[in-house]
Each structure stands twice: as C-alpha cells, then as structure tokens.
Amino acid sequence: MLLEAENLTKHFAGLAAVNNVSLNVKEGEILAIVGPNGAGKSVLFGLISGLLRPTSGHIRMQDTEITGWKPHRIARQGIARTFQTTALFDQLRVMDNLAIGYRQRTAGGFWSTLLHTRRWEEDKNRTTAKVMEILSFIGLAEKAFHFVSALSQAEQKRLSIGVALISEPKMILLDEPTGGLILEDTDQITDLIKKIHKVAGVTVCLIEHKMRMVMGLADRMIVLNFGSVIAEGTPVEISQNPKVIEAYLGGESVA
Amino acid sequence: MDLFFQQVFNGIMLGSTYAIVALGLTLVFGILHIPNFAHGHLYMLGAYVSFFLMTLYGFGFWPALIASVVILGLIGIVVERVVYRPLRDKPHINSFISAVGALMVLETSVIVFWGPQGRRIPNPYPGIVDVLGITMSYQRLLVILAAIVLIALLQIFIKRTTPGITIEAVAQNREGAMLVGVNVNWVSSLTFAISTGTAAAAACLVAPIFMITPTMGALLGMKAFVIVILGGLGSIPGAILGGYILGLLEAIGGGYLSAAYKDVYAFGALILILSIRPTGLFGKEGS
Amino acid sequence: MAVKFLREKWIYVLLLVLALALPLLVTNRYHFQIIIMGCLFSIATLSMNLILGYTGQASLAHAGFFGLGAYGLALMTKSGISFWLALPFSGLFAALIGFLIGLPTLRTRGSYFAISTMCFGVIVSLVAGNWIEVTGGFNGIVGIPVPSPIPLPFLGEISFQTQAAQYYLVLAFLLLTLLIMNRLVHSLLGLSFMAIRNNEVLAEAVGVPTFVGKVLSFVVANFFAGMAGGIYASLMGNISPGTASLDLTFNWLVFLLLGGVATLSGPIVGAFAIPVLMEYLQFLAEYRMIIFGVLLIVVIIYFPRGLMGAFTTLQERVQAVYGRRKEAVKGAARS
C-alpha cells in the first residue's frame, strides 16, 4: 500500500469540502478520482500534497505518518503533483522549470554554490542530464530554451507533468491534466500518462472529467460527490453504478 | 494618580486619532487588499490642505475641515486609479513599490510648497476645563467626540446603506459581486475616498493641538499598519480597539517609561506578535 | 541580439580596465567622491537585488542593516579594533540581526513582511537617534578612522588616506560582491530563489524549502548591506541616524528598479546613472524625490523589470511571437 488516507475531513468556514473520505492507493496502479464539479477532488489532492491541513483524519505514506506535513516535505517523501490551473514558473525558461523540479534531488546549498565545490559540479551535471532526459520523455526537447509564454496550452500541460516527473517521485497526482485541451492533445497526454506508468514505473492518481478517457486508462476509480465517496471499483463497475449515474445526471457524463 | 488619569485622557485622545486612521486603512487593506503605504502621508496632506485654506483663503476651522475631507477624498480616488489599480493582478511587491513612489511624491510636494518646518493652525476652541483634576482642553475633547461620531456614522454607512453593503459584498467575494452587476471599480474608488477622507478629518481635528510637519504622517501611517495587522485585516472593531489600545499604551508608557522610545514599542510589538502568530492576532488562514 | 552583445567577454574586460584606470582619468575630487559613493551604493543595491529582485521579497529595511553595519564598525574601530577585523564582523552582525528578524517576518504573507521590515528599519534609526550613550544620538558618531594601512613585504604599506586608495578599496569589494552574487544567482540555488519569487506555492509543491530559501537570501543580502555600511562609515569618518533612514532605502529602490531587477548589471547601472544624472540636474535637487517617486510608479507599472531587465522581456516577447507564428504556419501546413 503506497498511500493510505483515513477519515479525511476538511472544513472551510463550516462547509465540509471533504467529508470523512478514506482511500488507499496501491503501488503501481492508475487510480482515477472522478465526480461532478465541486465534489472536493482538488481539495482532496490539496490535503494529500500538504497544501491544506486536514480538519481531521490521517494520511500515511508507506507507513510514515505525513498528516500536517508541509508541502515541500511531502514532495521529498515522493509525492509530486500538477495543478488544475497549469502552474508553472512563467518568468523562467522550460529547462529552468525542470531544473527546479529536480532541485530536491541535489544536495548542494549555499557554501557549495559559493565555492564551486565538486558537489556543486556534480549537481549541475546530474541536473543537466536529468533535464535532457525528461525533455525528450515529454517531447519538448526543441523548446528547452523557450520561455513558458511561448508554449501552447498542451505543451504547458506536458511541461507541468515533466516538472512533477523529474523529481523521481513514487506517486504523481495529476489534477485534470487534459483540462481545456482538444481531442488530439488529450490523446497525447493520455499516452504520456501511460508512458509514465509503464516506462517510469510511477504510481498515478488523477482527477479527470473526461469519462471516456478515464475508462480506458484507469485500473480503479473512486467517485466523489459533495465531499464524500459514493462509489469505488473498476471502471466497468463504476459505469454501471446507479448512484454514480444519478450524480452525473445533468452534468458531464460522457466526453 | 492625577498624572495617571491625565495620561489616560491623553491616551484616549491619541487613540481616537489612531482609531480613525486605522479604520480607513483597514477598509482599503482588508477590502481592496491594497497595502496603502501612502495612507499616513495622505493624512498629513489633509492637515496641510486645511492649513492652506485657513491661512490663504481665510476659511474657518470647520469649513476648512469639510473642504479638506472632500479634497482628500478626491485625491484618494486619483491615487487608487493611478498608483494601485494598474497593478491589481500583478505580484503584491509591485504595489508596495508603487506605494513607496506615491509616498515620496506626497512628502516632497508638501516640503516644496510649504517648507520642511512645522506650521501652526490656530486653535478654534482654546479653552480648557478641569474635570476631577484632569485638564481637558476643548480641542482634545472635540477630537474624542468627533471620533465617536465618525465611527458611528461609518458603521451605519457600512451596515445600513446600499453603497456600504456593496463594499462589504466586494470584500467577501469580488467575482461574485461582479457577476451580480456591481461595478467593482466604482466600489474601489469609493472605499479609497472614504479611507482618505476620514484620515483627513482626523488630521484636521488634531492639527491645532500639535504642529503640522511634512513627516507627521510617516510614523502614524506605519502605526496604522501595525494596528490593522494586529487587529485583523478588514476588521473595523479590530482597528478601533487596536487604535485606542495603542493610544493608551503610548501615553501611559511615554509618561512612565522612556518617551523617546515610545514609537519603538508599537513596531517591536508587531515583530514580536508576528513571530508567534504569523497571520496577525485575529488573522485567518490561507489567501 | 542586444543580450548577446552583453554576453561578450571583452566588454567586461574593457569595463574593468576603465575602472582600474579611473583615478588617472578623473581629477575632480568632487566627481571622484560621487563615483566612490556610486560603487558603495552599487554594493547596497546588488544585495538588495538578491532579496527583492531574485527572491521577490520586499525588504524595506535594507538601509537599516546598512546602518547596523556602519554603527557596528564605527564602535569597533573607535575602540581600537582594526578595520580589517571589524569589517567582516559588521557584516556578520547585520546578518545575524537579519536572521533574527527574518525568522518571524518571513513566515508571513508578503505585505506583512514589507511592513515589518519597514518598521524594523525605523526602529534602527529611532534607536540610533535616541541611544545617546552608545550611538551619540542625533549627532551620531564622528572621528571614525579610515582603514588601517596594509603592510606589504618590501614595498612599504598601502595607506587609505588618499581618495584613489579608497576608491580601489571600494572597487575591490564591489568586484567581490559581484563575483559572489554571480555565483549565487547563476546556479540551482539562484533558480530556487527565482522559483520562490515566481510562484511560491508551486516551489513548495516541487520540494523547494521556501522558508529556508527566503531566510538565506535575506541573511546574505543583509551581510553585504552591513559590510557596505561598515566601509561607508570608515570612508566618511562620521555617521548619523540618517545613515539608516528609510529615505536611503527608497533611494536604492529607485536605483534598483530603474537599473533593472533580477540582473547583475541593473543595480550597478542604476546606482551610478541616477546620482550622476541628478548631479547634472542640480537645479531640480528640490524636486528630486518627486521625480524619483513618479519614476518609481511609472517604471513599476510599465517597465517592471527596469532598464536592463527590459532586454530580457524583449527577448521573451520576440520569442513568444516568433514561436506562435511558427506554430500557426505548421498548423496551416498540416491542414
């Protein structure tokens, strides 16, 4: 068991955005978290990644209690994430973005930087090599020197996935990785996610609205509505679950 | 014991000034999320405008005060439009820098026009009254009274009138307010105008008691920030309470401990309290 | 194009030669003094750039730390300690205080940090003006000795009584500061500072310990501010509470912003260009702060990266437009 979340609850001024949610993430699986808008999916990600502090509940990563840990500690523990709003360092170049993503894997600090020690040299070389590797993995090798603003929407999404991937995480949380993209670009991202799973061996947990895409991708699905889990199972089971169908009535059901 | 009560009285008067100035700032900082570093300098300008009108055009005390409030309200609208609005979606640090620029312009303009030395405004109510051994000058009593009236008026405005409720709505949910048709820009201008107008009123009331100098607003502005951060952004009760507490602390502390360092207390307190509670005494998590 | 030009090594060699030859070229004592001040303020603005330009934290206490260094060195050298020992200590003193102040204030949101540092800067000048026994109150400290001579084997000693010697001293420290800043910002560490500035939440999410980064940047910046203050005290001979004033911080802010934030040349350009400009526009001296204030507002709204930073922005824009055009052409070719 890679990640265990137990009775997670998050209150925002009286409203329970996430209400008593428990879930497990098995190592090596692709888990999809779905649900209508406002179901609490992004808040759940926020709790797992440390951005938000649970009002109550526990989170454990491979038997280590990570509840209440600050985001950078959780990142170093091996959980990487992307954001719904494609968060990138838009004042910097593509390769800088990736290099920052890899920073946690480098050891050098103030003194090694100041004195250009051997450790600094090693860090620099390792980072450069890793950045090149990820650039070709996500298909942005020609755009290494570009500023983020020169990239298309789809390329920016790929870059943010690359930034999460480069830190060699155990698990990657993808928050609507195809949000706002057309069919062709969505397929590209789906292929990338499959590659992450198979080639890099990273456990994937993703939030998605596009059911058709998720059906073909996920091993297991969890459905949230109004902050609570209403169904859990394989994609086939979920698509036949009456509660799920009811929750989606009037919302997006097939994409 | 007499000295103590005298200092309490002075503290209440001082606190009244602080309360009004902090109130204006908390409106702008809490509602518009603009840290208006120039607030203290706008307060100072209010005093100078009234001085200008009284000495050059022979305005009486009250007409000059009202004119100053109106003029500073207008200047506040200009400041919001020119200095802060273009930077609304940019990183906060840009607004600070812009504010510093505004502050520099205001302070130097006053020095250029009226010189760096202090000026005196004639006292319209020169009498004093002795109550239970405390000497109360009429002007100081006026400040306290006017503060109470002003605060009450502001409360009524915010809670009972449509523009006031609109301001609160924008504070709680800017986008929601826009969606229901509120002109957010107009609200920003109005809030700023109220903020600077009230500061001007406070300055005019206090001006006959002390001298007016180009730097009288600088320290006051910073203390207003301390009060607002400690009392809670956007909290009117916090600003009022904080203002009176600071006024009392300064008067009593200044009377019994060192007068020279009285200004240091407020600023030191800020850093101390932030080290314990980084969101301020009544602040909320997040944002 | 323009940026490429600045990357050419020979430009810097030329500038260095010019800088070294300066005492031979400048004969006017007054002008020379301005240049020396320009160098000192360059150290101040370069260090301010680290915390403000690269890490994106609005520290308005910079002159306060400059003053701490100045007063620290003054007190040490007046009680007999050699300048060469006192100087690093004045830097360390400023850095230590910076650490103590940074711990509570850097945990808060940006606005609170700006205000807290502003307040701290004022505390320093208030204490300097009122602690008469130690700081001499508003009269300050006078009679601070110039740096003690450095003995050279066989060649006698280098004394610092002349302007030329003082200039080379300041130049040496400026070059040292430049070297250190260059190493810090052109590195993974520098990238992590910029990440904090650009998107602190994201930086945290990818494993960058943002609090540590902010404190480090703040402490290093204040070390250099303190050291610059120490040099200032020794060369000026006397200091007063005005040395730590908010006005000085604001001046540096103008130099930094006009010259260009988040570049290494910007602060130096600003620290020299603007005082020199003001010298030529002496008749505007009274209105100096008004002009600076207006410039600050205009620049932060329309040219937020300053003069030298504008080159980078230009490059970015060109790339963005060019890049999108290529995509459009490719897209059209595809269909």
Does residue B284 carry a pLDDT above 60? no
Does residue A80 carry a pLDDT above 90? yes
The beta-carbon neighbor of A100 closest among C183, C201, C206 is: C206
The 10s digit of each residue's pLDDT in A20-57 is 899 999 998 999 999 887 788 999 999 999 999 999 99
The percent of residues above 90 in pLDDT, for chain A, comes to 55
Query: In whole angstroms, how far apart are CA C22 and each of C28, C32, C167?
Result: 11, 9, 9
Element (DSSP H or E) covering residue B103: helix B92-114
* E-state strands within chain C: 150-152, 156-158
Closest to B103 in 3D by CA, of B49, B53, B52, B43: B43
pLDDT value, residue A249:
63
Those chains having 3 or more beta-carbon pairs within 8 angstroms of chain B are C
Which residue, among C186, C188, C224, C317, would best test binding to A if mutated, counting the most A CBs under 10 Å from its CB? Answer: C188
Does residue B286 carry a pLDDT above 70? no
Neighbours of B248 (CB within 10 A): 18
Does residue C120 carry a pLDDT above 60? yes
pLDDT value, residue C260:
86
The 10s digit of each residue's pLDDT in C230-245 is 999 999 989 999 999 9
Among A191-200, B167-176, B214-223, where is mean pLDDT lowest?
Answer: B167-176
The 10s digit of each residue's pLDDT in C63-95 is 999 999 999 999 999 888 889 999 999 999 999
Which residue(s) pair with A172 in the sheet? A80, A204
Domains located in chain C, CATH noted: 2-334 (1.10.3470)
Report residue A50: phi and psi, to 5°. Answer: 90, 0
CA atoms within 13 A on the CB side of C187: 26
pLDDT value, residue C7:
60
pLDDT value, residue B195:
93
**Do B207 and B121 touch, CB atoms closer than 8 A?**
yes
Mean per-residue pLDDT, A147-167: 92
More confident site: B6 or B278: B6
Does residue C109 carry a pLDDT above 60? yes
The 10s digit of each residue's pLDDT in C155-200 is 777 888 888 889 999 999 999 999 999 999 999 999 999 999 999 9
Does residue C287 carry a pLDDT above 90? no
Burial class of residue A144 (count of CB atoms within 10 Å of its CB; 0-12, 13-18, 19+): middle
CA A243 centroid distance within chain: 27
The 10s digit of each residue's pLDDT in B46-91 is 999 999 998 888 888 889 999 999 999 999 999 999 999 999 888 8
Report residue A81: phi and psi, to 5°. Answer: -150, 160
d(Cα B25, Cα A172) in Å, to the nearest integer? 44
d(Cα C125, Cα B149) in Å, to the nearest integer? 37
CA atoms within 13 A on the CB side of B204: 29
Among B247-261, C2-16, C149-163, where is mean pLDDT lowest?
Answer: C2-16
More confident site: B1 or A236: A236
Which residue(s) pair with C141 in the sheet? C239
The ipTM value here is 0.89
The 10s digit of each residue's pLDDT in C215-233 is 999 999 999 999 999 999 9
Confidence of residue C2 (pLDDT cuts 50, 70, 90): very low
d(Cα B63, Cα C261) in Å, to the nearest integer? 47
Distance from CA of C31 to the nearest CA of B (A): 26
pLDDT value, residue B76:
93
Verify whether the Cβ–Cβ distance B105 to C127 is below 8 Å: no
Domain A1-78+169-255 has CATH 3.40.50.720: no
d(Cα A162, Cα A169) in Å, to the nearest integer? 11
Closest to B116 in 3D by CA, of B45, B217, B214: B214
Does residue A164 carry a pLDDT above 50? yes
More confident site: B86 or B167: B86
A88-112 burial, b if ≥16 CB within 10 A, otherwise e? bbebbbbbbbbbbbbbbebebeeeb
Mean per-residue pLDDT, C116-137: 89
Confidence of residue C288 (pLDDT cuts 50, 70, 90): confident
The 10s digit of each residue's pLDDT in A120-146 is 999 999 999 999 999 999 999 999 999
**Do C23 and C165 touch, CB atoms closer than 8 A?**
no
* E-state strands within C127-264: 150-152, 156-158
More confident site: A246 or C329: A246
Mean per-residue pLDDT, C243-259: 91
pLDDT value, residue A156:
93
d(Cα C93, Cα C87) in Å, to the nearest integer? 10
More confident site: B278 or C331: B278
| Whole-angstrom Cα Rg for chain C | 21
pLDDT value, residue C310:
76
The percent of residues above 70 in pLDDT, for chain C, comes to 93
The percent of residues above 70 in pLDDT, for chain A, comes to 97
pLDDT value, residue B285:
41
pLDDT value, residue A227:
87
For residue B229, the chain C residues in CB contact (below 8 A) are 112, 115
d(Cα A7, Cα A58) in Å, to the nearest integer? 7
Which span out of A240-254, B142-156, C17-31 was modeled with the highest average pLDDT? Answer: B142-156
* Contacts by A214-221, CB closer than 8 A, 24 or more apart: A214/A32, A214/A34, A215/A239, A216/A190, A217/A30, A217/A32, A217/A190, A217/A193, A218/A30, A218/A31, A218/A32, A219/A29, A219/A30, A219/A31, A220/A26, A220/A29, A220/A30, A220/A31, A220/A32, A221/A31, A221/A32, A221/A33, A221/A34
pLDDT value, residue C328:
67
pLDDT value, residue A33:
92
Report residue A33: phi and psi, to 5°. Answer: -110, 120
Check CB contact of A108 with chain C, cutoff 8 Å. yes
For residue C320, the chain A residues in CB contact (below 8 A) are 147, 149-150
Domains located in chain B, CATH noted: 2-276 (1.10.3470)
d(Cα A77, Cα A2) in Å, to the nearest integer? 11
Distance from CA of B2 to the nearest CA of C (A): 28
Is the C-alpha dihedral spanning A210, A212, A218, A222 positive or negative?
Answer: positive
pLDDT value, residue B96:
86
User: Domain limits of chain A?
Assistant: 1-78+169-255, 88-167
Q: Which amino acid is at A235?
A: P
**Do B2 and B136 touch, CB atoms closer than 8 A?**
no
d(Cα B150, Cα B274) in Å, to the nearest integer? 30
d(Cα A195, Cα A50) in Å, to the nearest integer? 26
pLDDT value, residue A181:
86
pLDDT value, residue A102:
94
For residue A75, the chain C residues in CB contact (below 8 A) are 204-207
Closest to A88 in 3D by CA, of A35, A140, A25: A140
For residue C184, the chain A residues in CB contact (below 8 A) are 110, 113-114
d(Cα A10, Cα A226) in Å, to the nearest integer? 12
DSSP string, B33-68: ----TTHHHHHHHHHHHHHHHHHHS---HHHHHHHH
Which span out of A156-165, C3-12, C137-146 was modeled with the highest average pLDDT? Answer: A156-165
Mean pLDDT taken over chain B: 85
For residue A107, the chain C residues in CB contact (below 8 A) are none
Confidence of residue A255 (pLDDT cuts 50, 70, 90): very low
Closest to C235 in 3D by CA, of C180, C176, C164, C178: C164
Which residue, among C112, C250, C274, would best test binding to B if mutated, counting the most B CBs under 10 Å from its CB? Answer: C112
Check CB contact of C209 with chain A, cutoff 8 Å. yes
Which residue, among C184, C191, C197, C206, would best test binding to A if mutated, counting the most A CBs under 10 Å from its CB? Answer: C206
Mean per-residue pLDDT, A195-216: 87
Mean pLDDT taken over chain C: 87
Judged by DSSP in three states, C201 sits in helix
Confidence of residue C3 (pLDDT cuts 50, 70, 90): very low
Mean pLDDT taken over chain A: 89
Does residue C1 carry a pLDDT above 50? no
d(Cα B102, Cα B37) in Å, to the nearest integer? 8
